[in-house]
Amino acid sequence: MNKKDFGDDFLWGVSTAAYQIEGAFNIDGKGLSIWDTFTKKKNKIFNNENGDIACDFYHKFTQDIYLIYQLKIPNFRFSISWSRIFPEGVGTINQKGIDFYNKVIDLCLELGIQPWITLYHWDLPQSLHEKGGWTNREIINWFSEYVACCVKHFGDRVSKWMILNEPMVFTGAGYFLGVHAPGLKGIDHFIAATHHVAMCQAEGGRIIRSLHSNPYIGTTFSYSHLEPYSAENENDQKATKRVDALLNRLFIEPLLGLGYPLKDLPMLDKLEKFMHPNDLNQLAFDMDFVGLQVYTRELVNYSLFVPFVQANIVKASRRFVHHTIMDWEVFPDSIYHAVKRIEKYSNIKDIIITENGAAFDDSVNNDRVADLLRKDYLQKHIKKLLKAKKEGSNIKGYFVWTLMDNFEWAEGFKPRFGLVHLDFKTQKRIIKDSGIWYRDFLT
């Protein structure tokens, strides 16, 4: 297997997110985000860590973009910090925030690297959260103002846009389970946030298309390949179907004009009180591509005591299978199954793997990180992706998560996903063996 097998027009890249790498959380006019606030609450984050400094990309972006150039990676996906552009979420624009992203974009283009902007990667301005955030329908207007601002200031040089990052994850973890920012719990918070997020993913696409002359627009979804814990058990099969509706179908099907998967997940009946006339039509938008973020396979069993879904995901460690330190099974076929499943929808144009990667225990020896497990993980997943492509799947690209070790949300700095090792005390960067392999593969 080599790069040529995928064709000359296949897109290879690397992905990052603003809060996970930028730091500079209160510098140059930036307002607070919900993650700036959530991470200061005791015992919410592993070791009570936070992204105040993180990788200090805000100050070291030149060095880091040159690392991308050195690794011969032609596409760089990064997100915009909403509160760096609008410190209060709406209203007055922070020119220093605009200037920062202009410098990032300009350096990428100067080095022949294509910038891909993710508009929302979980860091809602704290001031908007205090007005209800994603549970307040007014966020459709707030988000629209933010998207239009980004297109106005960056659209002359950026044509590749992603609206949202993994809406199921930030609504489920942040508005139902309370383990991510802003830490809200309960079905009502989750249902309200779900509908407004789904409305925004379509509205964001419409705004870009109305303001940009030639955009390539998509959005990203977390996707887990699901199987019943016991293939012969009817209750496990039904539980898997409910979990699939929740994790894999909840946001993509409204976008495709199919509505919410109410039939397979009765709890979604609660959406009715948040629906306005014509909302079903407004949920749909014809994206140019769908981004899939695939990491693992999950096995599901029936559980009477889990509310709403009566299902439980059986952790990889309990199944004694090879897994990452996130307790995610290493199952390369998952990426193949994800592509084959999504392409069954009739109105999908292009599919891009916008995240795929693994966290393992890395060690530095004589300025070298021999991360053989990560290299093996990437090789095997890319090989399975090639299998799907050879079978005719309309797969157009693959982005590794992530450029460098960073702040991994509630897990803090412990999980290391990067192609580049980062010492968070000294900010020293070391390209890992996986990064060297990826460079060689791309060249």
CA–CA dist 29, 2 (Å, integer): 46
Let me know if 25 is exposed, middle or buried by CB neighbors in 10 A (0-12, 13-18, 19+).
Answer: buried
CA–CA dist 439, 417 (Å, integer): 16
CA–CA dist 341, 339 (Å, integer): 5
CA–CA dist 235, 438 (Å, integer): 43
Kindly tell me the sign of the dihedral angle through the C-alpha atoms of 346, 350, 351, 354. negative
Find the DSSP H helices in 247-332: 252-255, 279-282
Q: Which two tokens stand for residue 302?
A: 């029936």
CB 207 within 8 A of CB 151: yes
CB 215 within 8 A of CB 286: no
Let me know if 355 is exposed, middle or buried by CB neighbors in 10 A (0-12, 13-18, 19+).
Answer: buried
- Which amino acid, residue 106? D
In degrees rounded to 5, what are phi and psi of residue 75? -135, 130
Q: Which two tokens stand for residue 255?
A: 């976008």
Q: Catalytic amino acids?
A: 166, 355
CA–CA dist 149, 436 (Å, integer): 37
Q: How many other CB atoms are found less than 10 A from the CB of residue 316?
A: 21
Q: How many other CB atoms are found less than 10 A from the CB of residue 282?
A: 16
CB 415 within 8 A of CB 325: yes
Query: Can you give the length of the chain in residues?
Result: 443
Quote the strand ranges of 60-133, DSSP E. 75-79, 114-120
**Degrees to nearest 5, angle at CA 237 with 293 and 242:** 55
In degrees rounded to 5, what are phi and psi of residue 171? -80, -45
Contacts of 139 (CB under 8 A, 6+ apart): 128, 132, 133, 196, 200
